Structure 1
Amino acid sequence: MFVLIVLALFVRFSISRFKEIPKGFQNVMEAIVDIFDSFTVSTMGESKRRFASFYGSVFLFILFSNLWGLLGMRPPTSDLATTLALALMTFFMVQYYGITTKGIGNYLKGFLDPMPFLLPLNVIGELANPVSLSFRLFGNIVGGVIIMGLIYAALPGILKIGIPAVLHIYFDVFSGVLQSFIFVMLSMIFVSGAIEE
């Protein structure tokens, strides 16, 4: 969070110097914003572009948390409390937008589709979403932490310098970016599905 806050403050105080014809740092920031906008529109639709800043922030938080392992520290996303909190945000957004866009009656009636006797399965399916979201992110990140810990413990002194670096590329960088992308994309799909045009 500290890194993200410092980065946000740096960008904010640089805004006054931004030019109409962008170059350098402004190009990078505009490209990042454009990537988040495009991804949100392609996943959720043009009418839900307003979610781009929220999901961009969530993506950056998860990404920076996952990459924290590169500094030799335990990533925050290897703690179930962090991933469950992120998943519960999605769960409550789905409920909120489902009720506000469809109305409480129609929203609750949706649990009886396609047949009324499927109500228990529909409720369980709705409650399974935050569980699956949180455990997917948690399991992948904590699995990488455990494997890297075992590798460091198994290697003798001088070999701890070179060999683990290659594995960090996979377990911290590749897996960290991929899991951030998957979490945000699934969250977007769940929320988008709850909003009825």
Structure 2
Amino acid sequence: MRYAQWVLYFGNFKLSETVVVSWIIMAGLIIASYFLTRNLKLVPTSKVQIMLEFVIKSIANLVTDTMGEKTIKRMPNMIPYLGSLFFFFACSNLIGLLGFKSPTTDVDTTLAWSLITIFLLYYAGIKFRGLSYFKDLMEPIPLMLPLNLVGEIARPISLTFRPFGNILGGSVIMGLLYSFLGYVSELIPGISIPIGQLIIPVPLHLYFDMFAGVLQAFIFVMLTMVFVGSAAETE
């Protein structure tokens, strides 16, 4: 497990690398949102606005179809939240391509996202179904209560360690590969530049940093929608 590294100090107050990189990602998303939305018109005339409307509409349709129209009508903020979570999650995984430590490789980050999902799950269950929501813990028979409680405890653990393990595993593999390629380059006489480190890791970066990073973000958002939507079902 990778522990937080302190990079900024203000007296006794310390900021970890994870927090600093997360702030950089948030600042980048805020700046991008500002410049992409500052000249919006009622009738789109630019390709940028058309693209933005397509992306937002696609996210809204996906969330609505997954969670149900009734749930979204009573919890409309789920659409912007899940959209923001996906972009932040994906950027957190992709920022490793720029040489930064991905916040997802810190278990504190994925734990915080998982706890938000669990809070929304219970909030939706109580909001839609009242305290009767907890009766599901004794379904199909009361003897299943201990097993169902174990399942409830396992849910945030699974949500936390699935993205953490996948992203951290990829970063560890890439680190070992770079070390190995650097060692091999030193064994070749007359070569001062580790050429292998510039070419060979590219396909793996495409998989671990881009494909797997975006995929884990999508899976986490989908699980959040399924869990919260299921908790809000009244029929």
Query: Which range, TM-score by smaller chain?
Result: over 0.9
Q: Which has the larger radius of gyration?
A: 2
Cα deviation, 1:70-106, whole Å, max 9, x if unaligned, reads 11221111110000100100001111111121111x1
2:36 partner letter: V
Between the two proteins, what is the percent identity of the paired residues? 45
Matched with 2:214 is 177
Letter of the structure 2 residue corresponding to residue 54 of structure 1: Y
Equivalent position of 2:56 in the other structure: 33
- The one of the two structures with greater contact order (alpha-carbon pairs below 8 A, sep at least 6) is 1
| Superposed displacement of residue 66, structure 1 | 0.5
1:169 CA displacement: 0.3
SS at match of 1:74: coil
Counterpart of 2:106?
79
Shift >3 Å, 4+ stretches? none
Matched, 1:196 2:233: yes
Tell me which protein shows more helix as a share of its residues. Answer: 1
Cα RMSD over matched residues? 1.3
- Aligned position for 1:111: 137
Correspondence 1:1-197 to 2 at 5 A? 1-15=26-40, 18-49=41-72, 50=76, 51-104=78-131, 106-155=132-181, 156=185, 157-197=194-234
Q: Measure the CA separation in 2 of the matches of 1:126 and 1:35.
A: 31
For the Cα contact (< 8 Å) 2:36–2:48, is it kept in 1? no
CA-to-aligned-CA distance 1:40-85 (integer Å, 9 cap, x gap):
1221122344222111011001000000111122111111000010
Q: Deviations over 1:10-61 (max 9, x none)?
A: 234233xx25143311011111101101211221122344222111011001
TM-score normalised per structure 2:
0.79
Q: Which runs of 5+ in 2 are unaligned?
A: 1-25, 186-193
